[in-house]
Structure formats: C-alpha cells, structure tokens
Amino acid sequence: MPPHPDSNLHPAATGPAASIVAAHSSPAPLKLYSGWFCPFVQCVWSVLEEKQIPYQYIEVNPYNKPPSLLALNPRGLVPTLEAPNGKPLYESNVVCEFLEEAYADCGARLLPEDAYERARCRIWMDYCSSRIVPAFHRFLQWQPPAGAGDAEGGSAADGLAIVREEFLKTLKDFAAEMLTTTGSSSGPFFLGTQPSLVDFVIAPWIVRLWVFDTFKQPGGLGIPAAGEGGADEAVWERLRVWKAAIEERPSVRDTLSEREHYLPIYKRYADDTAMSELAKASRKGRGVP
C-alpha cells in the first residue's frame, strides 16, 4: 500500500516543544499519544502543561498508525489519551474536560465553580470547535474556481474575500461575547484574568493565524490594525488583547515547534491537497469530523 500523502512529516517536535517532550519521555501512568504538529493535540497538551499534570508524551505519526495507537483508538487519530487504568479517551474537548475533572487538585481550575458559568464555557467551547475551526479551514483551503484566469481575477478575489469575512465574523462574535460579559470585558482571557478551557481549545488555531498572511494573498488574515476597526474598534481591540495573551501563555507558547516545520504542512492545506480527516471534511463542506 502506498504511503499516505501527508505521511512525510518532520518526525519530532522542535524548538521549545522539544524540551517539553524530553521532560516527559519517561513512562508514566497517564500517556498522551501525540503528533507535534496537530492543533487538536496542542489543545490537550497545553492543558496538561497548564495544570502541571504528570504524563508521558508518546510521538506517533497518525498517517502511519502504530498498533499501540490503534489498540486504543480504532480511528488512529491524535490526541489519544491512555488513562492510568489503561482505558482510552479521545476527542480533544472531551479529553480536556476529563483532565480538568480527574485532576482537579493539579494546578488552577480551568472551569468555573458556578454551574451557569461552567455551562456557558461549554457553549463557547462548542462554538470554537463547530464554528471557528471549520471557518478557519474553509478560508485556508479555499481555491479559485477551476480554470479561472486573469479575466476572472475579480471573481476569484471576491471568493477569497467571502471566506475571509466568514472566518473573521466568527472571531468577531467571539470577541464581542468577551467584551460584553462581566468579568472578561477587560480580559485578557475569556473569563477574565485567568485562562479557562475555552481559551485552550481554540488557542492552537489562534497561534497559527500567521498561515493566512503567508498563504492567502492578497489580503492575508485581514484583522484590522489597532485604531483601524471603525465602529467595531472596541471588539477588535478585545480580540487583539486576547490573542496577545494566548500567544504569550507558556503552556501554549512552549508546546509549539519551529515555524519552518509547519510550513510544508499548511502549504498542503492552503493548496487544498492535504488529506487529513479535517481537510477532507472541510472540502466537503462539513464540520470537524
């Protein structure tokens, strides 16, 4: 059988993430089956780091699935967590909530004690997964109509502008929620001064926003610069504050590898040739698989 078209990946984490991998290479009851490049992995990985939960990091290539991964998760996807009882868990949001509940005594709490606020966090965690992430990938994977030449350049640019605006609206609506909610209006995080699971489940896509300025020109990402947001400047400024805080949070910043190794991965997405399950779902107009 020929190798999966996305299987030729850099084999290991680099940069700050490599140091964390090395520190968690020894056997431990809690095991994270991981791919250094995967944003869904980074959701879980950053929560493990934020709460300082002891774990073992196990690097796998989900496009060349080892038997150890398939024994836990028949789909062979990462992240997959092997709990201390040997039982598997997967789906990144589910795993993040498990870590918050099962390791409540580790580090800071990442969901509120108040039942209403906890439910509201779950609404916005779902919003991140069901709205922001699919819109991110529709924008990144968008291609001009087949056969479009110079004469059709205007329509191609219009198409790119539409998917860009769709994505930016998801970010703007998210920022508007933060701006109007007591306790988080000044931030910097979704709930206020301390990060929550809401921040961590979307952080990996926020720290990858550079892909649009790299691959989707003209126009790039398109978030207005400071002072240029017009009537919505306050909303955009809240987004900028939040984005800067996420990018500098050590548990997020230090679970990233060097950008050069992400470039070939995201070029395949930008060219719409990637064959991950998420890329295939986005191509068919579906949400996160």
The CATH number of 115-283 is: 1.20.1050.10
How many residues comprise the chain? Answer: 289
Give 167's Cβ-side CA count (13 Å radius). Answer: 25
Q: Is 43 a catalytic residue?
A: no
pLDDT value for 151: 47
Catalytic residue among 38, 43, 121, 128: 38
pLDDT, residue 219, reads 95
Instruction: For domain 15-102, give the fold.
Output: Glutaredoxin (3.40.30)
Pairing of strands 80-82, 31-34: antiparallel
Separation of alpha carbons 87 and 81, rounded Å: 8
Domain coordinates of the chain in residue numbers? 15-102, 115-283
Which is it for strands 88-90 and 80-82: parallel, antiparallel or unpaired? Answer: antiparallel
Buried/exposed code over 222-245 (b: 16+ C-beta within 10 A; e: otherwise): ebbeeeebeeeeebbbbbbbbbeb
Give the Cα separation of 192 and 209 in Å (integer): 23
Instruction: Say how many C-beta atoms besides its own lie within 10 A of residue 117's C-beta.
Output: 15
**Whether the domain at 15-102 and the domain at 115-283 fall into the same CATH topology:** no
Q: What are phi and psi of 103, to 5 degrees?
A: -120, 45
pTM metric for this prediction: 0.95
Mean pLDDT by 10 residues, the chain (289 residues): 77 97 98 97 98 98 91 96 96 98 97 97 98 98 76 73 98 96 90 97 98 96 97 97 98 98 97 94 90
d(CA 11, CA 8) in angstroms, rounded, equals 8
Q: Establish whether the linkage from the previous residue to 16 is cis, with ω within 30° of 0.
A: no
